[in-house]
Chain A
Amino acid sequence: DAGVTQSPTHLIKTRGQQVTLRCSPKSGHDTVSWYQQALGQGPQFIFQYYEEEERQRGNFPDRFSGHQFPNYSSELNVNALLLGDSALYLCASSLYGLEAFFGQGTRLTVV
C-alpha cells in the first residue's frame, strides 16, 4: 500500500503566480482533505472533497480552489500567490471522512 502520495515535494514560485499541487489518496479511501501548515503551527483546514464535490471549506479565500477526479485523486490550486502562502501543504485521505492519513506534504515557497 503506497499510502497518500503528494507531488511535487518542493516548489518555489514567484508572487502573483499560480500553483497546482497534486494528491493521490490511500488505496480504498474516497475522501480527500487539504491543510496548510505554517512553520511552527498546527495544520489549518482548507477544504474537503468527496464524490468529486467540495463538501466542507475552511476560512481560506477563493484564491484557493480544488478538484477531485473520478479515481479520487485531487488537486489544490492557488491563484495570485502571496508571500504569506508559503507553507507546507498537506493532503489527507480517509474513508467516509473518518480517520485521516496524511501524505508527506508539498513545501511551497513564494518569493
Chain B
Amino acid sequence: EDQVTQSPEALRLQEGESSSLNCSYTVSGLRGLFWYRQDPGKGPEFLFTLYSAGEEKEKERLKATLTKKESFLHITAPKPEDSATYLCAVQETSGSRLTFGEGTQLTVNP
C-alpha cells in the first residue's frame, strides 16, 4: 500500500528565512509525485509534478526536488503570502489515484 509521510507537521518561519519541507514516500512504482498548496477552506492548488529521481522544478520562491525515497520543497526567502498547508501526493504506475500525506502547515511571520 502506498504511503506518504510529510514533515514537519507545522513550521513557523520569519519572513526571508529559507527552509525545506520533506515528503517521504513508499510506492510500488512511481508514476509521479505532486505538490499542492492549500489555503484554509479551499481546494488544493497544483504546484509541481516530478516524475523521476534527480528532477527539479521551480516556481517563484519554491523549488521541488525528487529522490527515489523522498521529495523536498525548498522555500527561499518566504513571504507572509506563502503561508498555507503544503500537500504532497504520489501516483503509482498502476493507476491514477493520488495518495496524499497529511500536509505541512507553513506560517510565515512578517
- Residues of A at under 8 Å CB distance from B? 4, 6, 31, 33, 35, 40-45, 48, 55-56, 58, 88, 90, 92, 94, 96-105, 107
Q: Chain B's nearest CB lies how many Å from the CB of A97?
A: 3
Contact of B45 among A43, A97, A99, A102 (CB under 8 A): A102
Question: Which B residue sits closest to A99, measured CB to CB?
Answer: B49
Residues of B within 8 A of A56 (CB): 95-97
Report Cα–Cα, A45/B98, bound state, in Å: 7
A31 lies within 8 A of B43 (CB): no
Interface size class of B (residues with CB under 8 A): 20 to 34
A97 lies within 8 A of B96 (CB): yes
With contacts A42-B102, A99-B49 known, is A90 near B44, CB below 8 A?
Answer: yes
B46 lies within 8 A of A101 (CB): yes
A31 lies within 8 A of B96 (CB): yes
Report Cα–Cα, A105/B88, bound state, in Å: 18
B25: Cβ under 8 A from any A Cβ:
no
Report Cα–Cα, A88/B39, bound state, in Å: 13
The residue in B42, B96, B102 that gathers the most chain A C-beta atoms within 10 A of its C-beta is B96
1/0 per residue B53-82: CB within 8 Å of A? Answer: 000000000000000000000000000000
Report Cα–Cα, A58/B95, bound state, in Å: 12
Contact of B41 among A33, A44, A107 (CB under 8 A): A107
Question: Which B residue sits closest to A100, measured CB to CB?
Answer: B98
Q: A90-B43, A99-B49, A104-B42 provided; 13 other pairs, C-beta below 8 A?
A: A33-B96, A35-B98, A40-B102, A43-B87, A88-B41, A96-B96, A97-B96, A101-B46, A102-B44, A102-B45, A102-B46, A104-B43, A107-B41
The residue in B32, B36, B43 that gathers the most chain A C-beta atoms within 10 A of its C-beta is B43
Residues of B within 8 A of A102 (CB): 36, 43-46
Report Cα–Cα, A8/B46, bound state, in Å: 22
